[in-house]
Amino acid sequence: MLKQFDPSRVPPAVITLTINNSKPVELNAFVRAFTSIAKEYQDAVDASDDFQGEAEIFVKEVRSGSIVADLLPVVASTLPIIASSAEQIWLAVEFVEKWKDRITKLASGIVPEAFSRSDLKTFAGAVEAIARDPEASSTLEVATFEDGKRQVKAAFKFHSSDARQVEKTIEGEYRRLESERDDTHYRVLMVFTRSDVGDAPKDKRSGERVIIQQISDRDLPIMYASDLAEQRVKHEIREADDNIFKKGFSVDVSVLYRNSRPMVYRILNVHEVLDLPDE
């Protein structure tokens, strides 16, 4: 981490965060508006093939009136060759565009693909400063200075109404994640109530249903976690002489729940196939 800002390392692009607020901003929300940007910028550096090292966001200036902060994104490269000015500008522009895409999707009720709990926390912090102020807005832009003139390369503005929608989407995603959990059971007896000779895509629901009485009296759909587990089961369905409904399978399963209710069995491993006693 850089301990002290070095003026000689001023980057070719400056990121400006503007918070137009009509009410005082709570200090922690103000801080999180900056730390969320710092985290996302580091993630952008980590994902880039042109940069290696730790990204630092320095606050150059906070101007009076609305909260306007010039941020200096500096990459402490570990490579002997430092990225060119054009590459650094490109990274800053891509960062603002990605920021725009993510907040726009969240404000529309869409959780971006592969969004983690960490991402949810980051963007909750990003919008918190203006979400409680009905007349507030936030603008993030990247600019360069050419011949003494400021030229904006990319910009994105969102309002308090957007911020509140982002918060609703994030809260809903947290609830969804909490309601869906899985746990694993080992060597439990699985009995088919519906079979299917066709193959099923891995980790997608098949057309089959089973009962595992150690877990639930209801028959539930299944999915296969591995090709080997599916091959073992399908062999019994397609090629064995005996009726599949008169066989039991000793399996390891991961159970997917929703609101504490088991919804799907995920077959991890098939240990053995047993003949069930006649009733």
pLDDT tens digits, 191-246: 999 988 877 777 788 889 999 999 999 999 999 988 899 989 988 888 877 788 98
**Quick one: which of 87, 59, 85, 90 has its CA closest to 73?**
59
Q: Averaged over 88-96, what is the pLDDT?
A: 87
3-state secondary structure of 65: coil
- Name, of 62-66, 85-89, 112-116, 268-272, the range with top average pLDDT: 268-272
What is the model's pLDDT at position 81? 42
Higher pLDDT, 8 or 194: 194
Closest CA to 73 of 61, 97, 91: 91
Q: Cβ neighbours of residue 264 under 8 Å, at least 6 residues apart?
A: 205, 220, 221, 222, 223, 255, 256
Query: Quick count: other Cβ atoms within 10 Å of Cβ 173?
Result: 16
Residue 180 or 89, more confident: 89
218/268 Cα distance (integer angstroms): 20
Binned at pLDDT 50, 70 and 90, residue 3 comes out as very low
What pLDDT sits at residue 89? 84
The per-residue pLDDT for range 134-156, each reduced to its tens digit, is 999 999 999 888 787 888 999 99
pLDDT the model gives residue 169: 96
Tell me the average pLDDT across 60-66. Answer: 71
